[in-house]
Each structure stands twice: as C-alpha cells, then as structure tokens.
C-alpha cells in the first residue's frame, strides 16, 4: 500500500480566477460539524496572531464570532446544512471581502494559517483521509485566489 500525503500546494497569483471545485462532501462527513467548527476556531485564532490580523476583528470574541460564521460557510460549501444562508444570507464572498485590502501576500498568510490548522485539527487527529483533505485544500487554494482584490502588495 502506498502512503498518500496532502500536497499543500499554493497556486501562484497571476491575476486570473480559475474555476473553483467544491470540496468532497466526505470531508465534512469525516470531521463532522463540530470538527469543522474546531478547525475554524483554530484557524481564526492563528489569524488573530498573524501578520494580517489587522484585516480582522480587533476583539478576540468578535474574531471567534467570525470563526463561527466562517464555519457555517464551510459546512455549507462542503454539502452540509445551509447555516450561512439562513443566518447571513447568500455568501457572495467577493463582495463581503471587498472592503478589505486582500493582496497576494495576505492570501499566502491566510493559506499558511489554514494549513497549520488543518495539520493540527484534522491530520494530527486522523479525522479524514488524505484524498478528502486534499479536496478541501484544493478548494481553499483556488477560492483564495478569488478573494484577492489588491493585486500588488
């Protein structure tokens, strides 16, 4: 049997927006809603202490509310209940991120913190298989390209 790992490849920013493929719903099935919420709490805690913290809420409790909203989005995008739509309306993520200066470097910081959180909250706990985690990472990689709204640092 061949050991498979997750390739945390980051697609270089070239100004284009490739098609986005939603993650395999098995990712949510494997980690569960509470696992997704733990992943997003870990991720947002890392963002709170990151070089791009100024893009987010100043108060930690507000940051944790943002983590809750983000978990709702990712649960929905992974085929779970439509919590985000119910609580916040249609995602329209590019519009929601428009007020913030999201550069290619900010994207790299964002992805790096997500990679750390995935390694701690999913891989280290053996909650899902590498292929399913890869589908989630591949979604994040391309989705994050779409959020860049300031092409130069």
In a domain, 6, yes or no: no
In a domain, 107, yes or no: yes
Specify the pLDDT at position 135: 98
How does pLDDT run across 35-66, given as a tens digit for each residue?
A: 999 999 999 999 999 999 999 989 999 999 99
pTM of the complete model: 0.94
Specify the pLDDT at position 19: 96
Number of domains in the chain: 1
Q: Who contacts 114 (Cβ-Cβ below 8 Å, separation ≥6)?
A: 43, 140
Q: What is the CATH number of the domain that holds 91?
A: 1.10.490.10
CA atoms lying within 13 Å on the CB side of residue 55: 21
Residue 97, token pair as written in the block: 């991120």
pLDDT band at 3 (very low <50, low <70, confident <90, very high): low
Which residue range forms the structural domain that includes residue 32?
Answer: 26-147
CA atoms lying within 13 Å on the CB side of residue 132: 15
DSSP states of 71-99 as a string? HHHHHHHTTS--HHHHHH-S--HHHHHTT
In a domain, 8, yes or no: no
In a domain, 60, yes or no: yes
In a domain, 152, yes or no: no
């Amino acid at each position: 049997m061949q050991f498979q790992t997750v390739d945390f490849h980051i697609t270089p920013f070239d100004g284009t927006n490739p098609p986005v493929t939603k993650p395999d719903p098995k990712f949510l099935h494997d980690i569960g809603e509470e696992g997704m919420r733990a992943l997003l709490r870990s991720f947002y805690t890392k963002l709170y202490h990151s070089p791009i913290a100024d893009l987010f809420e100043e108060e930690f409790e507000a940051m944790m509310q943002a983590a809750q909203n983000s978990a709702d989005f990712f649960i929905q995008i992974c085929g779970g209940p439509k919590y985000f739509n119910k609580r916040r309306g249609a995602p329209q993520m590019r519009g929601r991120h428009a007020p913030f200066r999201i550069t290619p470097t900010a994207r790299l910081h964002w992805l790096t913190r997500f990679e750390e959180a995935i390694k701690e909250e999913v891989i280290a706990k053996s909650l899902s298989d590498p292929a399913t985690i890869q589908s989630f990472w591949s979604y994040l990689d391309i989705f994050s390209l779409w959020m860049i709204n300031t092409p130069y640092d």
